[in-house]
Chains A and B, each alone.
Chain A
Amino acid sequence: GQNIDQPTEMTATEGAIVQINCTYQTSGFNGLFWYQQHAGEAPTFLSYNVLDGLEEKGRFSSFLSRSKGYSYLLLKELQMKDSASYLCAVRSGSGNTGKLIFGQGTTLQVKP
């Protein structure tokens, strides 16, 4: 079966750095995605990892270790607008029909 775990809630301070972890077990792994979702809105794409290592995109970075079934999303220089839910999703299967399975999401609250 497939299983994706991430913390339910996290709190951090404006200007700080926060790391959101995600562990997964899946067959046919074909990439890991991070999305940001504000309440009542659709998810927006943040990052994609398919090979081991770190992908950096501005204030956001994402890391993947396939052997450990582990990823993290790193948010730097936190802003109040970063308060949102962060979803880890794993794709299984190849090509255009590979489906995304989402973790339960981590609600991040950024405090002044």
Chain B
Amino acid sequence: GAVVSQHPSRVICKSGTSVKIECRSLDFQATTMFWYRQFPKQSLMLMATSNEGSKATYEQGVEKDKFLINHASLTLSTLTVTSAHPEDSSFYICSARDRTTGNTEAFFGQGTRLTVV
């Protein structure tokens, strides 16, 4: 099956610094990638939809200036958490939909555990 690689898997950063998370589709092209956040014992909350070559669409309540998304190619989307604070500590997961098969499951990256200290 299709593979989505997310990097890093774990990161610890100091409060006030920025962290970049990468999401790559390894064997397919993804015009659309999705970024989710998951707090402990809660479900996935969609943060934004990332479209190749255009601006991301953010869900209500998600600050676009804090969570910068770049989708520069058909295989790579990045999420940058700017000026991170302890409350941003969470599990961040990306998913990508294959542009050719398109209409069934999205494939998930392995997630990034962010801890802000």
Which A positions have Cβ atoms within 8 angstroms of B?
31, 33, 40-45, 48, 87, 95-97, 99-105
Q: CA of A101 to CA of B110 in the docked complex: distance in angstroms?
A: 19
Report the count of interface residues on B (CB-CB < 8 A): 28
In the complex, are the beta carbons of B102 and A95 less than 8 A apart?
Answer: yes
CA distance A33 to B108 in the complex (A): 13
Q: Evaluate contact between B110 and A100: CB separation under 8 angstroms.
A: no
Q: Are B111 and A41 in contact (CB under 8 A)?
A: yes
Q: Tell me, in angstroms, the Cα distance from A37 to B59 when the chains sit together.
A: 23
Write the chain B residue with the least CB distance to A47. B105
**Bound Cα distance from A45 to B104, whole angstroms:** 10
Interface: B99 (CB within 8 A) = yes
Does B13 touch A at the CB level, under 8 Å? no
Please name 4 further chain A to chain B contacts, defined as beta carbons within 8 Å, in addition to the given A43-B44, A48-B105, sorted by A numbering. Answer: A31-B103, A45-B107, A96-B103, A99-B49
| Least CB distance, B38 to chain A, in whole angstroms | 9
Contact B108 A95 (CB under 8 A): no
Which residues, 28 to 68 on B, are CB-close (under 8 Å) to A?
31-32, 34, 36, 42-46, 49, 51
